[in-house]
Structure 1
Amino acid sequence: MSGRLPTHLAVGALVRRVNDAGGFAVVRARGEAQSGAILVVIEDDGRIRALERFRDLDDRETLVPAGPSDSDGAAMDDYWRKRRVSDPDLWVIELMIPQAERFVAETILVC
């Protein structure tokens, strides 16, 4: 048995925490419930960027930038939709809240 939290629980916790804090969080695409990858699209001061949970060779998790940087909404939508074609297990979460990266790190990264 793995000590990792299933993806669907981590995503659910992130969405609840952001919404409870007065922000906006929505699941744009559902992936594989147990071990799907997570891509978080963040809108911050008119900028749209994405972060992805990444597991390195030492089995540590971190957040890495993904997709086009400082893109508009259409470019980011195109990016994640193309990613889902090659990886249907990918979860896509959209957040609109100050300090979104902090919410993501505190919720979905395993210490």
Structure 2
Amino acid sequence: MTPRLRADIWVAAYLRTVRLQGGFAYQRQRGADEAGAVLLKIEQPARTYTVMSIGYVDGDRTWMRSTGPEAVSEQDADDYIQRRLKTDPDLWVVEVEDTQGRHFLTEPVEGENN
């Protein structure tokens, strides 16, 4: 089993990756440094959003579309994030703005050919 990367290190590296590839991202909520879960709020074209979180499929770490397969309104995305924060105060939240709606993840993403 591969050791899990600390959340603070993963978020810092992700923010840098997004910026280096021409997107804009910022940390909206700081969670627990070592073991906090991460939510990504990804802006899609037409100002719709997808919230993504880590899940496991057949034992493999995979990013899941937590708000469903279709993009949602910003209000729906923010409502989902607030519900999660109420039950998990150690949660990290990162927002990504990109005119092409890219998520910049290198790990597998649910529903994409990886």
TM-score band w.r.t. shorter chain:
0.7 to 0.9
Choose between structure 1 and 2: higher strand proportion: 1
Letter in 2 for 1:36: G
Query: Does residue 92 of structure 2 align to residue 91 of structure 1?
Result: yes
Query: Does residue 66 of structure 2 align to residue 66 of structure 1?
Result: yes
Residue matched to 1:78? 79
Q: Structure 1 residue 24: deviation in Å?
A: 0.7
TM-score by length of 2: 0.78
Residue matched to 2:52? 51
CA distance in 1, matches of 2:102, 2:36: 21
Letter in 2 for 1:67: T
TM-score by length of 1: 0.80
CA distance in 2, matches of 1:66, 1:93: 14
Q: Structure 1 residue 100: deviation in Å?
A: 2.6
**Residues paired across the two proteins, number:** 103
CA distance in 1, matches of 2:92, 2:64: 15
Q: Structure 1 residue 105: deviation in Å?
A: 3.0
Residue matched to 2:21? 21
Cα RMSD after superposing both structures:
1.9
Q: 1:24 to 1:32 in 2, by over 3 A?
A: same
Query: Identity, % of aligned pairs?
Result: 31
Q: Structure 1 residue 38: deviation in Å?
A: 0.9
Aligned 8 A contact 1:63 1:105 in 2: no
Structure 1 regions of 5+ residues with no counterpart? Answer: 107-111
Query: Does residue 102 of structure 2 align to residue 100 of structure 1?
Result: yes
CA distance in 1, matches of 2:92, 2:106: 16
Letter in 2 for 1:8: D
Aligned 8 A contact 2:45 2:101 in 1: no
Residue matched to 2:112? none
Choose between structure 1 and 2: higher helix proportion: 1
CA distance in 1, matches of 2:33, 2:76: 27
Q: 1:90 to 1:39 in 2, by over 3 A?
A: same
